[in-house]
Amino acid sequence: MTTEIENWVSEIASLTKPDNIRWIDGSEQDELNALLVERGTFTPLNPEKRPNSFLARTNPADVARVEERTFICSEREQDAGPTNNWFEPRAMREKLQGLFDGSMRGRTMYVIPFSMGPIGSDQARYGIEVTDSAYVVSSMMIMTRVSSKVLDEIAAGSEWVPAVHSVGAPLAEGEQDVAWPCNPDVHVVQFPETKEIWSFGSGYGGNSLLGKKAMSLRIGSTMARDEGWLAEHMLLIRITNPEGKQFNVAAAFPSACGKTNLAMLKPSLPGYKVETIGDDITWIAKSASGKLKAINPEYGLFGVAPGTGPDTNQHALDSMKENAVFTNVALTDDGDVWWEGLSEPPAHLTDWKGNDWTPESGELAAHPNSRFCVPMEQAPTVAPDWDRAEGFELDAILFGGRRATNVPLVTESRDWNHGVFMGATIASEQTAAAEGPVGQLRRDPFAMLPFCGYNMADYWNHWLNIGNEVSNPPKIFQVNWFRKDENGRIMWPGFSENTRVVDWIIGRLENKNKGQATPIGRIPATGELNIEGLGLDDETMQKIMDVDSDSWMAETEMIEAFFDGFGLALPPEMTRQLHWLRNQLELQREAELVNN
C-alpha cells in the first residue's frame, strides 16, 4: 500500500474522528450484511422466496439524489458552467471541514479500494472511498469491484480518486443508533481539478455510492475531457440479428426513462438476441482501428423497481431472485418484496416507510425511486464476456427522452456533428429519480444534466472533437418511445416491441433501409419499420413519425433560448446546426403550402 493512501486515510480519520478504521478487501459482504440485520438497517427477506436478500428502508427524507445539494467546485465558475451548482473551492473546503469535523464519532470508518472497469484494463480507473456507513460498503461491493488488488495497481503508479463519505450522524457515548442515520444538510461535492469527492449527509444510492455518479460521471467526465475519452450516462448492449451479425450499441436516456428495460430487452422479433453489457454508465475511448470502444465501469445493477414486472422486464425480475439488496420497496406478509407494477396489489403489505398498507390506503406502497441492487452477473441477459478488458467497438449511439410531442419514434442524424446536436437537445419529462416536480419538461443534454462535471458547452465541444478524431465513429440516432396522441395515450407499445426500432436501426447500419429525409434527420420510410402484428393503423404510425414544421419551429425557439444560456462557451457548430434545422423547416413549410 502506498504511504500516500495511508496518509490520506489518517488525515480523514483525524478530521472525522471515527472510533476505529477498517480496511475492506472485498471479502466482508456476508459479515457486513449480518451486522446490518443486527442493527435493523436490513430486514432479511424470506430465504425460501429470495435467498440472501435484504430490504433497507431509508429515512423518508433521504430517498433520491439531491441535485440542488450537488456542487462542482472548479477554480473558475465558468468551468462548472450554467447547468451546475458552482461553489468557490476554498469556501467549500472550509464548509466541509466544519461538516466532517467529528462526523464519524462513535462509528467505524471503512476504507474501500474500488475499481471502475476491469482491474488492469487501460480503461479502468481506481478510487478509494472512506465511509461510516456499512450499507454503503455492502452496496459498493455489488456496484464496483472492491479488491485489495486496486491497492496494488495504485502502488504500481496508477492514479486514484479520493472519495470521502459520511452520513453525518455522529453517536455520543452510549447513544443508540437509528436504522438509517443521515443528516439533512446534504452536500455532494466534486472538485474537478484535484479529482476529489466529498459527500455528506445522505446514505442514498447516487449520493453515497461514490463510484457511480460522482466518480464515473462527474469526475469521470473531467478525466475524460483531459485524457481524450468520454464518460457517459449510457447503457451498453450487444445485439445479434437473425443473420448472426453483432452490433454494439450505447444509449443515453435521462434517469428512469426505461434504460434498464432496453439494457435487458427481450426481443419481440424472432432471431434477435440482446445481451447486457451495462445498464447505466459507459466509458468510451478511441480504439486502434479508428472506432470508438466502450466498457461498463460498474459491476452491478442499481435499478428503479416500480414499473418492473413480468410484462415490462422479466429479465430484470430474474436478475434479483437472490443476493439482492432492495431499498424502499414494500414488504409482503410472507417476507418478500413488492412494488407498483410488479403484480396485482396484495391485500396487505408493509409499505416503504414501515407502515401497514392495503390497496385502500391511497398511497404508494413502494417509493417511486425505490431500487434493486444486484451483481451484473445475475442479469440473465448478461454477455458472457461483458467485462472483457478490451471493451466493445461501438456501431451506434442512441439518445432518448420521454417526449409526449414532436419527437418521432426514431430519427437518424445526418452525421456526427448533427448527432451531437441531437444529444445536446434531448429533453424529458421530469421523473422520480431526482427531487423536483414530476412531469415538467426538462432539457437533459446527453442525459448528463446532473452528471457532467464541467461546463456542458465545453463537453459538447469535446464530443464534437472526439467523433472527428476517429475515422469510423458510430452512427447516432434519437429515439422516443413515449409520444402521445391527442387523448394523452402513449401510441407506441414500447418494451419488447422496441426491437422493431432496433431492427430498423440495424437496417440503416447495414445500408438495407433507405429511410426518408426530414428537417430533423432520417426517419423510416413507409413500410420500412416492421410493425407486423402490432395492430397500429396508418394514421397512428403517421402520428408516431410526424415531423410538424410549425411545432418544430416553436421547438427551435426553445432550443435557442436553452443555448443562449451557455453564452460564449457554446460551440459555433451548435448554432450552425440550429440554423440548418430552421432552414430545412422553412423549406418544408413552403413545400406544404405549395402542396395544400
Q: Which residues are catalytic?
A: 257
Cβ-based nearer residue to Mn ion, 256 or 541: 256
Q: Does 280 bind Mn ion (CB under 5 A)?
A: yes
Cα–Cα distance measured from residue 267 to residue 283, given in angstroms and rounded to the nearest whole number: 25
Q: Does 255 bind ligand OXD (CB under 6 A)?
A: yes
Which three-class secondary structure state does DSSP give residue 145? strand
Query: Residue 132 has which C-alpha cell?
Result: 461510516
Which is nearest to 78 in space by CA: 460, 456, 443, 450? 456
Q: Binders of ligand OXD among 16-75, rule CB under 6 A?
A: 65
| x-marked contacts with ligand OXD along 271-290 as a string, rule CB under 6 A | ---------x----------
Q: How many binding residues for ligand OXD (CB under 6 A)? A: 7
Q: Does 475 bind ligand OXD (CB under 6 A)?
A: no
Cα–Cα distance measured from residue 311 to residue 330, given in angstroms and rounded to the nearest whole number: 20
| x-marked contacts with ligand OXD along 406-445 as a string, rule CB under 6 A | ---------------------------x------------
Cβ-based nearer residue to ligand OXD, 133 or 255: 255
State the amino acid at position 399 in one-letter form: F
Cβ-based nearer residue to ligand OXD, 201 or 519: 201
What's the closest the beta carbon of residue 206 comes to ligand OXD, in angstroms?
5
Which is nearest to 475 in space by CA: 528, 424, 521, 518? 521
What's the closest the beta carbon of residue 75 comes to ligand OXD, in angstroms?
28
Residues with Cβ < 8 Å from 589, sequence gap 6 or more?
549, 550, 553
| x-marked contacts with Mn ion along 231-270 as a string, rule CB under 5 A | ------------------------x---------------
Residue 65 touches which member of ligand OXD, Mn ion, none, C-beta under 5-8 Å by kind? ligand OXD
Residue 291 touches which member of ligand OXD, Mn ion, none, C-beta under 5-8 Å by kind? none
Cα–Cα distance measured from residue 358 to residue 153, given in angstroms and rounded to the nearest whole number: 53
Query: Residue 579 has which C-alpha cell?
Result: 440554423
Q: Binders of ligand OXD among 296-325, rule CB under 6 A?
A: 302
Q: Does 235 bind ligand OXD (CB under 6 A)?
A: no
Which is nearest to 107 in space by CA: 132, 81, 142? 132
Radius of gyration of the chain (CA): 24
Cβ-based nearer residue to ligand OXD, 441 or 470: 441
Cβ-based nearer residue to ligand OXD, 433 or 452: 433
Phi, psi angles (nearest 5°) of residue 191: -110, 100
Residue 323 touches which member of ligand OXD, Mn ion, none, C-beta under 5-8 Å by kind? none
What's the closest the beta carbon of residue 341 comes to ligand OXD, in angstroms?
17
Which is nearest to 530 in space by CA: 396, 399, 410, 415? 410
| x-marked contacts with ligand OXD along 197-226 as a string, rule CB under 6 A | --------xx--------------------
What's the closest the beta carbon of residue 118 comes to ligand OXD, in angstroms?
21
Q: Note whether 472 and 98 are within 8 A (CB).
A: no
Which three-class secondary structure state does DSSP give residue 73? coil
Which three-class secondary structure state does DSSP give residue 594? helix
| Residue listed under C-alpha cell 401497514 | 356
Cα–Cα distance measured from residue 414 to residue 425, given in angstroms and rounded to the nearest whole number: 15
Binding positions for ligand OXD, rule: CB under 6 A: 65, 205-206, 255, 280, 302, 433
